[in-house]
């Protein structure tokens, strides 16, 4: 007789920020996730600054948990920080989902925020992201920019970064202007307001989209990643810890 397993706890892993708006944005997104999936326990753990820290969240859980990084690429936090915390959570059977990007639902959310900000179809776009030295993360950001371009009917979308990589937003704007584009908007590939999002917005020459926040497409994407990793966890039973791939 097969034993029915309860749904694993969904643990959203957020970076953390000294800006209080960031924590509010995370909580708003998770309220939407809970509304979409009322039978699933949803918790949050932060990598730094905010509370509860991820290690503390995991310490309070039992059974199975799926960690979903609220991050848009597979950079240092996904590859090093999260596994480092999991090393101290041997009492749990866990899976770590893929990062939120790249994915068509992320492009949908970016497109929607641009439209809300008044971006006119056909204009060029700089897609601002946090930035990473990890080549896999950079490739994912470029793929997200390509998907956003497709949603915009082929309009040029140039990725730019707040730190660790180039071009910066001013450099990307200059490159698009040199190519003859006059109307240039900035899409914010950030979950919440904060230092990086503000820095990029201040460099925008015109229309600038808000961070993604509690966008319905982002909530659906978070649950999609959870479901992918949950399936991986089910196949791996009774293994202790597994890592889901992005797809």
pLDDT tens digits, residue range 65-88? 999 999 998 878 889 999 999 999
State the Cα–Cα distance between residues 83 and 188, nearest whole angstrom. 28
List Cβ neighbours of 103 (8 Å cut-off, separation of 6 or more).
Answer: 144, 221, 224, 246
Global confidence as pTM = 0.92
**C-alpha dihedral (30, 31, 35, 39), degrees to nearest 10:** 60
If asked whether residues 156 and 181 sit together in one domain, one would say yes
Predicted confidence (pLDDT) at residue 238 exceeds the cutoff of 70: no
Q: Structural domain of residue 178, as residue ranges?
A: 104-202
Identify the helix (H) or strand (E) that includes residue 9: strand 9-14
**116-175: pLDDT as tens digits:** 999 988 999 999 999 998 999 999 999 999 999 999 999 999 999 999 899 999 999 999
Tell me, yes or no, whether 95 and 108 share the same domain: no
Is 222 part of a structural domain of the chain? yes
Are 186 and 133 within one domain?
yes
Residue 1: pLDDT band (50, 70, 90) is: very low
CA distance 124 to 117: 14
Question: Residue 240: what pLDDT?
Answer: 53
Q: Does some domain include residue 48?
A: yes
Q: What pLDDT does 246 receive?
A: 57
Q: CB of 231 within 8 A of CB of 209?
A: no
Averaged pLDDT of the chain: 93
More confident residue, 120 or 58: 58
Q: Reduced to 3 DSSP states, what percent helix, strand and coil does the chain have, rounded to the nearest 5?
A: 40, 15, 40
pLDDT value at position 247?
A: 62
Average pLDDT over residues 224-244: 79
Number of domains in the chain: 2
Q: What's the alpha-carbon Rg for the chain, to the nearest Å?
A: 18
Rounded-to-integer distance, Cα 238 and Cα 142, Å: 37
Same domain, 194 and 109: yes
- Tokens 């039973």 label which residue? 237
- Written as six digits, the tokens of 40 are 């699933």
pLDDT band at 234 (very low <50, low <70, confident <90, very high): confident
Q: Is residue 199 within 8 Å of residue 137, measured between CB atoms?
A: no
The total of other beta-carbon atoms located within 10 Å of residue 85's CB is: 19
- Give the other-Cβ count within 10 Å of 139's Cβ: 13
- For residues 17 and 139, membership in a common domain is answered with no
In this structure, the answer to whether residues 63 and 17 fall within a common structural domain is yes
């Amino acid at each position: 007789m097969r034993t029915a397993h309860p749904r694993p706890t969904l643990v959203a892993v957020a970076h953390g920020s000294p800006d209080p708006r960031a924590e509010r944005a995370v909580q708003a997104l998770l309220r939407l996730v809970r509304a979409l999936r009322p039978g699933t326990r949803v918790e949050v753990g932060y990598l730094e600054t905010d509370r509860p820290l991820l290690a503390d969240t995991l310490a309070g859980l039992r059974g199975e948990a799926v960690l979903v990084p609220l991050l848009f690429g597979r950079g240092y936090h996904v590859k090093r920080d999260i596994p480092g915390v999991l090393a101290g959570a041997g009492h749990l059977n866990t899976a770590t989902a893929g990062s939120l990007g790249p994915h068509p639902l992320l492009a949908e959310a970016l497109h929607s925020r641009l439209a809300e900000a008044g971006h006119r179809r056909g204009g060029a776009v700089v897609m601002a992201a946090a930035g990473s030295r990890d080549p896999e993360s950079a490739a994912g950001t470029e793929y997200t920019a390509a998907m956003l371009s497709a949603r915009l009917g082929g309009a040029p979308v140039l990725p730019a970064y707040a730190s660790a990589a180039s071009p910066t937003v001013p450099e990307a704007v200059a490159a698009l202007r040199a190519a003859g584009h006059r109307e240039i908007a900035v899409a914010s590939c950030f979950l919440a307001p904060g230092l990086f999002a503000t820095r990029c917005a201040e460099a925008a020459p015109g229309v600038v989209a808000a961070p993604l926040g509690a966008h319905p497409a982002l909530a659906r994407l978070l649950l999609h990643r959870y479901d992918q990793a949950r399936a991986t966890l089910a196949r791996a039973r009774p293994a202790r810890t597994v890592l889901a791939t992005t797809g």
